[in-house]
Amino acid sequence: MAVGLWLVATASDAVAQQPVITVDPEIPTAIRERIDAALSGVDPVSIADSVFVPRELTHEGALVQVGGTVILEGRVTGDVTAIDSQVYVRPGAVVEGRLTMLAGALFGSTLATVRGGEEWVRDAPLGVVTDGDGNIQIVYVEPERPFPIEPKGFFGFVPHHYTGVNGLEFSLAVGLRQRPEWPRTKLAGGPVFRTARGDVGWDVELARELRENAEIGVRTYSITDTSQRWHRSDLGNSVRSLFLADDDRLYFEREGYEAWASMSPAPKVRLGIRWRDDDFDSLETENPFAFFGGDEDWRINPPITPGGGRALGTRLTFDARNSPRFATRGVYADVQYDHWGFGGDFEFDWAQAEARGYLPTNGESFAAMRVVAGGRLGGGDSLEPQFLYSLGGRRTVVGTSALSEQLTGDRMLIANVRYHLALPSPIERFEHFYAVGLFDIGDAWFPGGSFNSNVGVGGGVAFHGPVRYLGAFVAYGVDSEEWKFYGMISPWF
């Protein structure tokens, strides 16, 4: 305790004689603005050789470190921003805000808690130097220019999915190495292989930043696609397909191109516009290898309506969650609209709106709520199979079967509630242990139909650590009168 307090007192003496801190204008604007915002939000700024927050102490407010070393064992109630610093986050440390690293080095712990999430800009082109008068300069450091082409994924191998129509789908992809400074150009992609079909497609994307909050891009592809990503994550569906021949999706071939432009007119807001030109075709079930399943276990992939279509769409997103990977507080909203037509085989208007809210309730506990509504606008015949919603399963209405005919249509509405009650974790590897309650209500229907309240309720337990969410749950479908067991390796939504 005495050593910890002495180190804190030393840091306080250092910051009391606050030196002049200058920021090199050559540093890229986006990074320079973040530095300016951090420096202006804290007084004084720590420039001590070492700042130590011991286990018994709480640092109130934000902490900004310029150069030197930060050792966190206790609690910081605000954001932590480190500029070209060595940061040690020890087991048991708690950062209530966000941890941002600009250059420097981070030595973290899986047993620490950073509620606002972490961001480490390893290749930020800056450094910290001290002049003869003790003043601090945050200077631009010319980054190294390695060979501009690099392999993507694992030495160029990028696995996608394991499915009943493709077997293993993977690509061999290379692309431009990304620069830390603006403007940047993204060019990546390559051939796409499908082992069970024995054919080759492609997927190549080119994007360019126009300014620091806007970009344009184009993508061309010949890929396998699905409209059923509701039921499981890509990884979860691939694992069950490989081991159990249990594929909860319907697939079709999509070939064409898309072009888009997007910008952020305000913080946390993203606005985009997109043009698509697609040709659709059916795919047959290939019954690939499965460890514990035979040909009869694969779901038969139904045909779709072949043809070409062109769509012009727009999307508006607002994201104020504390962490997109595992949100515990904040809000998220997303609105999309597409008009299909322009001389193609399909002509209709489609829209979808989604709202999510995350509310801390007591300590580490929180409630998560989501409402999604979407589908065809106006009257007319039902949409083609490749545009339909098929609900059910763990991510829409728990306790019901995925791809249920009862929950299929070209319009849909769902509402989900998840409550995570924090309990002491019995496994040190995981920071959090929760008892989880589930409630869902939703439906999908065709023109002339109406909403029916399909309800699912359930519960279970979940662990969460720095890398993974793991959970086991049981749920009952009130209308389907079914019990379902779910294993989850990612959050619900």
Assess if residue 290 is contained within a domain. no
Average pLDDT over residues 448-464: 92
Assess if residue 325 is contained within a domain. yes
Residue 434 is predicted with a pLDDT of 95
Residue 346 is predicted with a pLDDT of 94
Residue 5: pLDDT over 50: no
Residue 44 is predicted with a pLDDT of 64
d(CA 393, CA 415): 14
**Claim to verify: residue 396 and residue 312 sit in the same structural domain:** yes
d(CA 168, CA 20): 58
d(CA 303, CA 198): 20
d(CA 412, CA 107): 46
Instruction: Using the Cα atoms of residue 298, residue 299, residue 300 and residue 303 in order, give the sign of their dihedral.
Output: negative
Instruction: Using the Cα atoms of residue 58, residue 59, residue 60 and residue 62 in order, give the sign of their dihedral.
Output: negative
In the numeric block, which tokens belong to residue 409? Answer: 């249509």
DSSP 8-state symbol, 154: B
Q: Burial, 292: exposed, middle or buried (Cβ in 10 Å; 0-12, 13-18, 19+)?
A: exposed
**Claim to verify: residue 85 and residue 202 sit in the same structural domain:** no
Q: What is the CA angle 466-237-411, rounded to 5?
A: 105
Assess if residue 385 is contained within a domain. yes
**Claim to verify: residue 110 and residue 186 sit in the same structural domain:** no
**Claim to verify: residue 192 and residue 277 sit in the same structural domain:** yes
Residue 247: pLDDT over 50: yes
Residue 260 is predicted with a pLDDT of 97
What is the span of the domain harbouring residue 126? 2-140
175-211 residue pLDDT tens: 998 776 667 899 999 999 999 998 999 999 999 998 7
**Claim to verify: residue 274 and residue 334 sit in the same structural domain:** no
442 near 414, Cβ under 8 Å?
A: yes
Residue 290 is predicted with a pLDDT of 95
Task: Indicate the average pLDDT of the chain.
Answer: 88
* Domain count of the fold of the chain: 3
Average pLDDT over residues 367-376: 96
- Residue 286 φ/ψ region, left for φ over 0, alpha for ψ in the -120 to 50 degree band, beta for the rest: alpha
Residue 7 is predicted with a pLDDT of 43
Assess if residue 254 is contained within a domain. no
**Claim to verify: residue 169 and residue 44 sit in the same structural domain:** no
Range of weakest confidence among 29-43, 230-244, 477-491: 29-43
Residue 264: pLDDT over 70: yes
Assess if residue 253 is contained within a domain. no
Question: What one-letter code names the amino acid at 322?
Answer: N
**pTM, full prediction:** 0.73
Residue 46: pLDDT over 80: no
Residues, the chain: 493
d(CA 106, CA 336): 38
Element (H, E) at 9: helix 2-16
Residue 343: pLDDT over 60: yes
**Claim to verify: residue 71 and residue 207 sit in the same structural domain:** no
Residue 3 is predicted with a pLDDT of 37
**Residues paired with residue 249 on neighbouring β-strands, in sequence order:** none
DSSP letter for each residue of 101-120: EESSEEE--TT-EETT-EEE
134-147 residue pLDDT tens: 788 889 888 777 78
DSSP letter for each residue of 126-180: EEEEE-TTS-EEEEE-PPP---SEEE-TBTTEEEEEEETTTEEEEEE-EEEPPPS
Domain boundary among 117, 140, 163: 140
**Claim to verify: residue 20 and residue 132 sit in the same structural domain:** yes
**Claim to verify: residue 15 and residue 35 sit in the same structural domain:** yes
Residue 132: pLDDT over 80: no
**Claim to verify: residue 334 and residue 408 sit in the same structural domain:** yes
**Claim to verify: residue 185 and residue 327 sit in the same structural domain:** no
245 near 162, Cβ under 8 Å?
A: no
Domain boundary among 106, 140, 174: 140
Average pLDDT over residues 438-461: 93
Residue 307 is predicted with a pLDDT of 96
Element (H, E) at 476: strand 469-477
Q: Which is nearest to 364 in space by CA: 462, 439, 440, 493?
A: 462
Residue 254: pLDDT over 60: yes
Task: Give percent of the chain above pLDDT 90.
Answer: 54
DSSP letter for each residue of 386-418: GG-EE--BTTTBTTS-TT-GGGEESEEEEEEEE
Average pLDDT over residues 48-59: 84
Assess if residue 401 is contained within a domain. yes
Domain boundary among 93, 113, 140: 140
**Claim to verify: residue 371 and residue 472 sit in the same structural domain:** yes
For the beta carbon of residue 102, count every other beta carbon within 10 angstroms.
24
Residue 4 is predicted with a pLDDT of 38
Assess if residue 376 is contained within a domain. yes
Residue 158: pLDDT over 90: yes
Average pLDDT over residues 34-47: 76
Range of weakest confidence among 109-118, 313-322, 377-386, 476-485: 109-118
Burial per residue of 181-192, b for 16 or more beta-carbon CB atoms within 10 angstroms, e otherwise: beeeeeebbbeb
Average pLDDT over residues 413-423: 96
Residue 217 is predicted with a pLDDT of 97
Residue 47 is predicted with a pLDDT of 67
Assess if residue 245 is contained within a domain. no
pLDDT category at 380 given cuts 50, 70, 90 is confident
Average pLDDT over residues 309-314: 97
